[in-house]
A and B are shown apart, each in its own frame.
Chain A
Amino acid sequence: MIKHTDIVILLPYILIAGTSVVTMLAIAFYRHHGLTVLITLMGLSGALVLTCIIFSIPILHRQITSLIIIDGYALFFTGLILAASIVVTLLSYDYLEIHDGHHEEFYLLLLFATLGTAVLVASGHFVSLFLGIEILSVSLYALAAYLRHSDRSIEAGVKYLILAAVSSAFILFGMALVYAETGSMEFSQIALRAAASGVHGLPYTAGLGLLVIGLGFKLGVVPFHMWTPDVYEGAPAPVTAFIATVSKGAVFALVLRYFSRVDLHAHRSLFVILTITAIASMFAGNLLALLQRNVKRILAYSSISHVGYLLVTLLASGPLAVSAAAFYLAAYFVTTLGAFGVVTVLSDRDRDADSMDDYAGLAWRRPWLAGVFTAMLLSLAGIPLTAGFVGKFYVVAAGMGSALWLLVIVLVINSAIGLFYYLRIIVALYAHPEEETAPRPALSLSGKAALAGLTLSLVWLGVYPGPVIEIIKKTLQSLI
């Protein structure tokens, strides 16, 4: 039964859903880009504030029905997701202004997708898991193909549609098998029953395997990564930013929660498979990125390797690993949003700024923008003073803490390989300009605010991460 207080705790989620309804009505009565953005921003910020308030009152944290678990963990990631969505909204405004067509429905889809991810990170049950994933995926199909006049955008949307639908089928089948073996769809119950009855039969393992495959698709780990570069390249830049951060982050948070209940080490074969996946993702992501000339594709392959790094924390398991994952995700959100943010603001009407040539000599044309991009790339590479440095350090520490030597060494080797292509972009940024280029369009206020906020957070997390780590540590006490 849902009590009154439960409604209060669910307010952030209700507010997001409510905002999407309001947006829909607003579009029906008065179609206006600025107004829609304003409503969206107000809704998301309101939800963020509510999340923070509930987050700071631990007695409110509880499970609501068997579907939703509102604990510190869920609220932390919900906050992260909402903040990221606000940034994406700010970036989208300019981006859509210069493109033709209706802009308003974009925000509606964005709100739905955000709601889906927020449900995902709070789900403790297969039903809510599936609901969250479907709400997210269906919105993303449309978002990826939002620029209807662009072939590549349509291609990205269709590709994402087909693969996401297939992976959903895998997830469904996996859930069915696990349910058939354990008789429950609740994570905690599944873990208990599997441990008690010693269910290690083929159907159960196969079910877990299918789940891993389905979720692996969403995360874009090797060998399920093929869609990532194409979708990243084809989708509008703000949508790419959303897929790279919010969508992947939420799925990872869910996987992390699931495997904090279901002991990964008890399933030796699964552990080995995930280890291989992690290693393959790191290597494939970094090595293939070396071959790319397209900045969006480079970032796509880099994201594959970053998910590989994150898998190390999943395999390490334990409090240190979970806090490392949470911190890494926070750092990764900031960094990736920043990187795609720069791509977004540089894009023009005809195409996204994804060619290396768009960035040649940027430092002398638009020094601030180049500075932001440099900071983001250095953070992806894990260089000090940036969030990525502390994140990488934390992940390596987590791996070492669980004595995963192989994974840690692979991670370290890959960080060195990764540097190579990040540096290549940076070299281009600071190349001497050949000729004076056309006068530059000024950044709008929303783009400036988003990028400035991201850069400040990046440096803050890199220089003074203590408070954030403290919050994460507190949060994790509520998990398990």
Chain B
Amino acid sequence: MIDAKLLERHGVTTDEYERICGFLGREPNLTELGIFSVMWSEHCSYKSSRVHLRTLPTSGPQVLQGPGENAGAVDIGDGLAAVFKIESHNHPSFIEPYQGAATGVGGIIRDIFTMGARPIALLNSLRFGPLQAPGTPRLVEGVVAGIAGYGNSIGIPTVGGEIAFEPSYAGNPLVNVFCLGVAKHSDIIKGVASGVGNAVYYVGAKTGRDGIHGATMASAEFDEKSAEKRPAVQVGDPFMEKLLLEACLEVMRTDALIGIQDMGAAGLTCSTTEMGSRGGAGVEIDVSLVPQRETGMTPYEIMLSESQERMLLVAKRGREAEVERIFEKWDLHAVKIGEVTNDGMLRVKQSGTVVAEIPNRALTDEAPVYNRPFTEPDYLRGAQQLDLDALVAPEGRARASGDAALRTLLATPTIASKHWVYRQYDHMVRTNTINLPGMGAGVVRIKGTDRALALSVDGNGRYVYLDPKRGAMLAVAEAARNVACAGARPLGATNCLNFGNPERPGIMWQFAKAVEGIGEACTALGVPITGGNVSLYNETDGKAIYPTPTIGVVGLLERADRVVARRFRESGDTIVLLGEGRGELGGSEYLKVIFDRVGGVPPAIDLQAERALQELIVSLASEALIRSAHDCSDGGLAVAIAECCFDTHGMGAEISIAGVRVANDARINEAAALYGESASRVVLSAAADAVTGILERAAASGVPAQVIGQTGGNRLRIAIDGHLAIDMAVEEAEQLWSSAIESHFARRVA
């Protein structure tokens, strides 16, 4: 019955099939093959990535839960834990933008409350093709509406995120969603099944035929037939999830549960197997007891369905009635579908007859692990070559310098204000948001304490494409720096690794190098990785995306009222630049936007200097010595200073900096000083009488610091070596920056 064609449809190789037969001591039946195929899929087994992920730093005194559970957790004092994770929903979002993004949000929220934490904030990291391209606005609108539709309804604020537009994502957008929750240490609960005879309950939405093979879909490349896979995308129901969230948190407080897990990728299969495996037990269920939305569903379909908003839980013996009563209150029905056994098997019955019987370890610990070959890709050497004097802009050099270049950069969608997007997200519900979206890292206070948590997601695929290791380090550094710029001490990180097909040695090399970079940066900056997700096969018609590790960092502010944001606050304040500009244009937004060129090497990074910088900012903020802080990233110093002037009712700045010499062409040297993207730089503003103290503290920390100007007036003026290079009204600059994205949607409905 099982032939080569069937194996191919399941994404199972012949070698893997032989291993399956070895584990079972016989040939699998179709249900068992389906179970193996999803558990051994890249998405669930991490078979290509595991050998590399093992090298990441995952421990630290603050870490309460590292990778391997539904989400990671770090200690934030007062007996509380921050529970957080990032996950991708790239493939479903390309096929059906609204539902794909919505169910991505639903999935990551479940991961957080499954740990016993109350979800309190969401972020997202999105990548699309150029906004000018015909299909992009539809995708952007769908994804944004999907995130909004789910997050707004369930009542968890989306407090920030990032969006970038690059041609490499045109056929494969990225939708990475991050959720943060808070729990008492003692309330953290794991996804384990143990205690022979304990009841296994199913609760939530009924099981339908939707999403069958979602996990295998997420492990395959796209081609023109991808639209045919639409039935594998699920439909989200945020109201059902809100009920589940409240009911599960209420049940968890009773101490009547052994463990709980959501049914995400690979649904019932993954949750039963993983819970049994973690608890060193077995789980036996009868699929005929599973609530079903459709008639005539086979065990295969029930086990592989990815219907949303479903949970699996194990109750303590004698406490079943209590559990059932709480779910009834929320009009949910907890149904006993099986029990915990001691034989380490996943046993599936249908009306009492065994239809699948597989050792848990075969599906989890002993799933295949591949150390795939990797070699430096051919493109790299050429892409890293950059002769700044040989640059030729597509339409001449008119825009290469002066106000014109700044205008162009401010209106480029990757840099422009994302207000059009985040005003569609409820970013204030739960009344904790103390740094609104667009102000830097999102910051939420913790009610009942003086504290707050800052959170940021960052990543620059262009940098990683040009140098995977350095690019990944820069992503970690930027996320942690953004958190520090809010005044928070970075505590932990989560990563979402979006790459192409790992079976290509060049892609695998990008992956291996990026993981190496993440590991080194996380170690140096003191932010262990507590979990995350890998998304491979991000390719369409054989063309891979830029390798894009997205890093989420969570940090702690001891005093919420000491929070710092991007914008200047008072006229007459002194502006200080921490860090050094070296005029690095490699991989910059400037080169891409003005010269249509993606080349060179990304900026250098000294991780020890970065750590000193971050510690300095956190201490300056905690003592209320600074009034604003903003890191320099896309578009360099000039764009950073312009952004500090925005949302201030037009407050200007008078800046004077030293030039750099990176080319013979004077205009390129000017651009390097203004738009070079050297890392580890932060623009601060402070009252004049605080400046001496700031400079002394910087000197003591070994962080380069210099006064570069003053706030005030209504113009942004930047002089380089005494020559005025930028002189424009803040109002005009802000208009360009704030209307750029919206203008792409103006001609559409409303």
Q: Do A and B bind each other?
A: no
